[in-house]
């Protein structure tokens, strides 16, 4: 199940925050599973 967990969401928020301090834009975060995928941008989590 590629659905983002609360830990996935927290980690991504931290990555986005730290990246922005360095001038880096995170456009998406993907979770790839055996039978599907999840896009944080597609789920409006970024």
- What is the domain partition of the chain in residue ranges? 6-39
Q: Count CA atoms within 13 Å of residue 12 on its CB side.
A: 19
pLDDT digits (tens, 9 = 90+) for 8-33: 999 999 999 999 999 999 999 999 99
And the tokens for 8? Answer: 């996935």
Q: What is the dihedral of CA 8, 13, 15, 21, to 10 degrees?
A: 180
Model confidence at 43: pLDDT above 90: yes
**Three-state SS annotation for the chain:** CCCCCHHHHHHHHHHHHHHHHCCCCCCCCEEEECCEEEECCCCCCC
The pLDDT of residue 1: 87
**pLDDT value of residue 10:** 98
């Amino acid at each position: 199940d590629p659905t983002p967990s609360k830990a996935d969401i927290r980690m991504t928020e931290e990555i986005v925050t730290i990246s922005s301090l360095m001038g880096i834009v995170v456009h998406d975060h993907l979770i790839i599973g055996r039978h599907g995928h999840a896009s944080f941008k597609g789920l409006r989590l970024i």
